[in-house]
Amino acid sequence: MSGFGDVTRSATLPLGLTIEQNATIQPGRRERSGAGHRDASPTPIATSIVGANLKHEEIEALATPRTLEGIATLSPGVTENSTNSGQMVVNGAMAFDNIFMINGVDVNDNLFAQPQNLFIEDAIEETQVLTAGISAEYGRFTGGVVNAITKSGGNSFSGSAPRELP
């Protein structure tokens, strides 16, 4: 707006969370050149949700399964020590009480209490594991929510292949 100085803020918004950004603009034009004032302080997360956000680069660097359940077990309060093998337990809740989502679509296999394998693990960009303080928008659960988003397209070809151990 004319008569006010420039203010520029940048932040990284984690999957499924909200952040708080405050900006104060000063009246009068500044005489110096540049894009404006940049605040380098970290952005506070404005939510009471307990969980973890895990990016693709972090998962690639770890020796963990690339499945939704394998990624989710990196979050506190999540274990695979269930009465039924292959099921995930969040904070002691039954495995059937969890929700698995890919790009906002429910991919639960209600018979086995596991996610359906309808995606390529390399396509997962970020995974959010919610274990407590979860919003009612997900509904019908008392366990946890595993929410993953896939990568966007691009103009370069990339992928991975199984690595052979020496």
**pLDDT tens, 96-120?**
888 888 888 888 887 777 888 777 7
For residues 13 and 166, the model is more confident at 13
Give CA–CA dist 6/25, Å, rounded.
7
For residues 56 and 141, the model is more confident at 56
Give CA–CA dist 75/143, Å, rounded.
13
Instruction: Please choose, from the candidates 144, 129, 160, the residue with its C-alpha nearest in 3D space to the C-alpha of residue 57.
Output: 160
Whole-Å CA distances, 65 to 59, 69, 83 = 9, 8, 21
pTM of the entire predicted model = 0.62
Which stretches of 2-108 are DSSP H helices? Answer: 56-60, 68-72
Pair 61, 140 in one domain: yes
Count of the separate structural domains present in the chain: 2
Token pair listed for 69: 């359940």
**Per-residue model confidence (pLDDT) at position 33:** 47
Pair 35, 55 in one domain: no
Pair 97, 32 in one domain: no
Pair 30, 68 in one domain: no
Range of the domain at 22: 1-47
**pLDDT tens, 21-69?**
777 777 765 454 445 445 555 556 555 667 788 888 888 888 888 888 8
Instruction: Please choose, from the candidates 17, 139, 147, 142, the residue with its C-alpha nearest in 3D space to the C-alpha of residue 89.
Output: 142
